[in-house]
């Protein structure tokens, strides 16, 4: 369980960089990364929250 928490924390700290790398056709819109889909298509079908609430 500790390993999962560690990975979750590390990913949260690098959310923007992860999105820019794996979803490069997206764009930042406030606290979200917006992209068409998992394939990286342009559009607004997929939102990734960049901040922890």
Domain count, the chain: 1
Full residue range of the structural domain in which residue 23 is found: 2-49
Q: Which residues on adjacent β-strands are paired with residue 49?
A: 32
Q: Could you read off the pLDDT of 2-52 as tens digits, one per residue?
A: 898 898 888 889 999 999 999 999 999 999 999 998 887 878 899 999 987
Length of the chain measured in residues: 53
Q: Which of 43, 52, 45 is nearest to 16 (CA)?
A: 52
- pTM of the entire predicted model: 0.75
- In this structure, are residues 49 and 31 in contact, taking their beta carbons and an 8 Å threshold? yes
- In this structure, are residues 37 and 47 in contact, taking their beta carbons and an 8 Å threshold? no
Give dist(CA 49, CA 3) in Å, integer: 22
């Amino acid at each position: 369980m500790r390993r999962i928490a560690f990975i979750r924390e590390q990913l949260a700290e690098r959310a923007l960089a992860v999105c820019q790398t794996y979803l490069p056709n997206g764009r930042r819109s406030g606290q979200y990364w917006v992209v068409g889909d998992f394939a990286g298509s342009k559009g607004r079908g997929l939102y990734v929250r960049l901040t922890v609430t």
